[in-house]
Structures are given as structure tokens and as C-alpha cells.
Structure 1
Amino acid sequence: MHVTKNTKLTTTLLIATYNWSSALSVVLNSILRQSVAPTEIIIADDGSREDTAQLIKEFNKTHNLAIKHVWHPDAGFRKTLILNKAIQQSCASYLIQIDGDIVMHSHFIRDHIAAAEEGFFVQGSRAMLTKKLTEKVVSCNSFKLHALSRGMHTRFNAIHCPRLAFIFSCNPTSSHNVKGCNMAFFRADFIRINGYYNGFEGWGFEDYEFAERLINSGIKKKRLKWAAVSYHLFHPLCSRKNFRSNEIIYEETVAQKKTYRIPGYHEISAQKAHHYGCSE
């Protein structure tokens, strides 16, 4: 096993998902191949059907794991709310966040742990799969993926060479283009800025806005390329119905240099999400 710094760092792998259990199955299998395992795994489920709960239950049973499944009813795109609820269930000091369509390279967790540094959050990148390759990976529930795989877009992002990752590392003051599908941050920093803003409705800008508040609070951004490699399964675009209204929220945070927004993490402390324990 590769030895890295931060070996005592406790980590939560946080997976956001919604109604795509076959893709989530591939993602979960990529956990089994990690050279370094996360301390805990939590799935933030924005209202998926019962097949997702059943998948997680069977996966836990088969592999003797204790993945936490945090779910709330489907009432539209409420990703920020379910992420906040899921993080309430976390115990680790460092959160590694992906989406339920992100297949992880075997050294994904190891690389994120190596990159963790007080005063920074980490933005990873993703290699995009074509529809054809995605269908093949999902149907076979396998993921022998690499930079030369046929059907791989943005191959540059699929290169794994962590010794050279420092070349791309710093872009400390920009929240633009931050994507929550591959990012990591300290739990204490997350709580200090009140987590994700629950005022977002629909897809768009929730991760930009969260990153902007981190930066405004003094946390710098560390870009991670050629390490913590991830592969993004193809899917149709989400609805852009609320794109502009969400963009306005983000622009307001930038213009006013906001570090804290309400409602967020602290405002859901009295609310209950359904938590599927590992024994269920």
C-alpha cells in the first residue's frame, strides 16, 4: 500500500445520488478497489426509488460494509439540502464528495488524502465517458477505464501521475467552474460557513456558491489534476429551468463577499432525514 502524509486523517466519502441505481452500483464497486479505504461512506439520496435502498442494503450485506444511506422524499432537485442532512451524519474530519455517476480510480481516496491541507479545499477533475462506453460499463458493472479507453472524452483528465499534480495545483481565488462531483474539504470549514445553501431550487451553481463562500472565508482552492482521477458516466443534461435564478444567488455571494448563508446546515438540525442503518 502506498504511504502518504495525513495517514491519521479520518475521511467521509460522500456520494450524492438520485434514481440511477445501476450507475451507483458501478460507483460502489469502485470503492472496493481503493488502495486506501475511506473511514466511512455516506450516500446522500435526493429521493430515489426503493431500488436504490435495496442496492445499498445488499451491497452492505455482501461486502460486510456499513454504508449510511440518508434519504428524503422526492420533491424536486434538492441536492444541497440532502448533502447537509448527510453531512450531519458524518463523523470524520475530512469530506470527499462525489456524485453517484462518478467512478473512482483505484487511488482516488489515497490521492485526496495526500492532497488534504489545512486552509485549502480541493477541486478534482473528471474524464467524460461517451454514451456508448457508459452503457457498456453500466451493463457489465465493470470499469477497466484509463486514459486510452475508447470512448473517453477529456483524456487529459484521465492521466494518473500524482508526482506531477503540483503543476496544476493552485488557483486560489476563483470559485468559477468548481464541481461538487469531485471535491474535498474539512468538515470544520464546511460548518463554519453554514454548509450548502438550501435556498437553491433546481440544478446549477450550488457548488460554485459553496466554494465562493469558502474562498471568502479565507480557504484557498487547490486544483487536483493527474491525481484523484474520476470517470463521469454519460447522462442527459438536468433541467436548466432555474439556471438564471440560481446564478443570481451565486453572483450575489460573489459581489457581497458572503461567507455565510441562511438557510443552510445549521437550520436543518431539527429536521429529520430517513437514515437507513447498516443493520436494516
Structure 2
Amino acid sequence: MKVSVIITTYNAEDWLRKVLVGFSVQTETDFELVIADDGSTPKTKEVLDAFSSKFKHPIVHVWQEDDGFQKSKILNKAILRANSDYLLFTDGDCVPRKDFVAVHLKYKEEGYFLSGGYFKLPMSISQAIADEDIISQNCFRISWLRRQGLNMNFKITKLTHTKLFADFMNWITPTKRSWNGHNSSGFKSDILAVNGFNHDMKYGGLDRELGERLFNLGLLSKQIRYSAICLHLDHARGYSSPEIWEKNNAIRSYNRRHKVIQIENGISSL
């Protein structure tokens, strides 16, 4: 298969279902879904079972016991279970546009990872999106979002379908070409070379820290935030705290300063 799509989730069945609908209508079908499940109840498996016949390849469900926020560990377990040499990472609250997988495959290149973004929706519109809105792709249309009450701002230009405009915006955007857990991809061999995600990090910057070590390895990155489009569904973040951010920022600062490539507490420690 061309790519393994790794999707993180935790007890968010309604949002995950919408995400799976999005992947069920992709223009590129030669991919597998690997669900990185950080301790959800059996309800998540029920959702996955309902979609088992919608995809060309079987859904791989990687689950671990609920032990608090352990995204790095479940991501590393999912990486080991992935059957492709190219990995696309996103979250179970990000509904992909129908060309999402195709765009990542179009721009993939050895020596690089791809850096995408998202368009964030308020809770009211997140809840209003129905399966048919995703299948028809109406939810990616600016006119539809405005009818649902979305306030207009510059960020909505991400949803413009014109390729020339998207390429231009990818080129001029001041946003860093970082590794973003909701929309990034790279070769499995590169991720293994840096020992995967850092188990010492909880919520807050753990994805970007992986990207910083990929840079230390010698990789470059490509900006595709205006080409690979997904809608971020709103939710609470009860797992964030100033203390965790302070610890994570200290780890990132140390690794940047010392040009760390491989962390000790990563895939090899599973």
C-alpha cells in the first residue's frame, strides 16, 4: 500500500466517526488506517467495526490501557504496526478533505517531511456537520460554513480550492514548517532513525519535538498547509497544564541546543 494513515483517538466516538467518513471518500484509496487508541472504552471499537468494509485495507486498531495522557507511547506502538514505509499522521478530531491523502502522496520526497495545518471550527458547527455534509464535501465550502454561522476571517482562505493560490500561500506563509500531529507525513525509516516520539513528553509540543529531531537528523520539510486540508472539530483539553508545558519546553530547548537526534525513552523502550 502507498501510505499508512495513523489517527490518534481517545473516547471521542462521534468525532472519530466523522473523521472515518472523511477517509471513506478519499480520491486515493490505496492506504490503511492505523488507529492509535490511548485507552478508549469498547465504544471506539464498535465505531471501527462499523467502518471495516469501507476501506481497501483492514483497519489496524492499536489500543493500550488508559494510564492518563500517553499519546507518545500509543503513536510509537502504531508506527511499529504500520505496514507501509510512508506514514501520514492526523488526529481523530480532524475531518480530511477528499484529496487529503492524495496531496500527501503527491508532495512526499526522500529527505523531507510534510507540514500541514487545519481549519478550526467552533463547537456549534462541529456538531452540525452530518455524514452527508462530509460525503458531499459541503462542509469544506466557504458558503456552507457561512450559512452555519462561521465568522469570516483570513484563515478561511485555506479552504480555497485553486491550486495556484494554494501553492502561492504555502510559499509566502510565515508559519514554520514544523511537524504537526494533526497533519504531517514522513518516511517510517526517518521516524525510526530518531527513535520515534518521546515518552517523557505529555500534551504540548510533543509532535513538534519529533520534527525538531528530524531536522537534527538532516531532514528538511515542505509546507502544505494550504494544500492538505482538514477541519478541526472543537473539544475540551483537560489534559493541559502550565507545569506540563514548562517541562516539555525544557526538553525541546535542551534537544535543540544539543542537536539531539535520538531520545532514550522512545520506540526502542517499548
TM class, shorter-length: 0.7 to 0.9
Structure 1: runs of 5+ lacking an equivalent: 1-8, 269-280
Distance 1:167 1:209, change over 3 A: same
Q: Is the contact between residue 168 and residue 223 of structure 1 (CA under 8 Å) also seen in structure 2?
A: no
1:85 lines up with 2:113 in the alignment: no
SS in 1 for 2:200: coil
In structure 1, the residue matched to 2:185 is 184
Structure 2: runs of 5+ lacking an equivalent: none
CA-to-partner distance for each residue in 1:56-78, whole Å, 9 max, x for gaps? 11211466751010000110110
Q: CA deviation at 1:35?
A: 0.4
SS in 1 for 2:198: coil
CA-to-partner distance for each residue in 1:143-163, whole Å, 9 max, x for gaps? 321241222763122223334
Question: Given residue 133 of structure 1, which amino acid in structure 2 is its aligned partner?
Answer: I
Instruction: Select between 49-58 and 175-184 the one with higher mean Cα deviation.
Output: 175-184
- Work out which of the residue numbers 250, 266, 277 in structure 1 matches 2:268: 266
Distance 1:50 1:141, change over 3 A: farther
Q: CA deviation at 1:175?
A: 6.5
Q: What does 1:216-235 correspond to in 2, within 5 Å? A: 216-235=216-235
What fraction of aligned residue pairs are identical, expressed as a percent? 28
Number of equivalent positions: 256
SS in 2 for 1:31: helix
Distance 1:93 1:214, change over 3 A: same
Tell me the TM-score normalized by structure 1: 0.85
- Work out which of the residue numbers 36, 49, 52 in structure 1 matches 2:41: 49
Q: Is the contact between residue 89 and residue 185 of structure 2 (CA under 8 Å) also seen in structure 1?
A: yes
What is the alpha-carbon distance in structure 1 between the residues aligned to residue 56 and residue 2 of structure 2?
A: 20
Question: Given residue 50 of structure 2, which amino acid in structure 1 is its aligned partner?
Answer: E
Please give the root-mean-square deviation of Cα atoms over the aligned residues, in Å: 2.2
SS in 2 for 1:30: helix
What is the alpha-carbon distance in structure 2 between the residues aligned to residue 43 and residue 79 of structure 1?
A: 12
Question: Given residue 223 of structure 2, which amino acid in structure 1 is its aligned partner?
Answer: R
SS in 2 for 1:145: helix
Q: CA deviation at 1:177?
A: 5.5
Distance 1:90 1:84, change over 3 A: same
1:209 lines up with 2:203 in the alignment: no
Q: What does 1:1-280 correspond to in 2, within 5 Å? A: 10-61=2-53, 66-137=58-129, 142-143=133-134, 144-148=138-142, 149-150=145-146, 151=150, 154-169=155-170, 178-200=179-201, 202-241=202-241, 242-268=244-270
Distance 1:192 1:262, change over 3 A: same
Question: Given residue 245 of structure 2, which amino acid in structure 1 is its aligned partner?
Answer: F
Q: CA deviation at 1:257?
A: 0.9
CA-to-partner distance for each residue in 1:35-82, whole Å, 9 max, x for gaps? 002421100000111100111112114667510100001101100100
Distance 1:176 1:111, change over 3 A: closer
Distance 1:165 1:61, change over 3 A: closer
Q: Is the contact between residue 203 and residue 238 of structure 1 (CA under 8 Å) also seen in structure 2?
A: no
Q: Is the contact between residue 32 and residue 56 of structure 2 (CA under 8 Å) also seen in structure 1?
A: no
Q: Is the contact between residue 76 and residue 197 of structure 2 (CA under 8 Å) also seen in structure 1?
A: yes
What is the alpha-carbon distance in structure 2 between the residues aligned to residue 96 and residue 256 of structure 1?
A: 28
Give 1 or 2: higher helix fraction: 2
Q: Is the contact between residue 170 and residue 221 of structure 1 (CA under 8 Å) also seen in structure 2?
A: no
Distance 1:239 1:63, change over 3 A: closer
Distance 1:115 1:19, change over 3 A: same
Tell me the TM-score normalized by structure 2: 0.88
Distance 1:76 1:175, change over 3 A: farther
What is the alpha-carbon distance in structure 2 between the residues aligned to residue 161 and residue 170 of structure 1?
A: 14
What is the alpha-carbon distance in structure 1 between the residues aligned to residue 30 and residue 39 of structure 2?
A: 25
Q: Is the contact between residue 4 and residue 84 of structure 2 (CA under 8 Å) also seen in structure 1?
A: yes
Question: Given residue 140 of structure 2, which amino acid in structure 1 is its aligned partner?
Answer: H
Instruction: Select between 79-88 and 55-64 the one with higher mean Cα deviation.
Output: 55-64
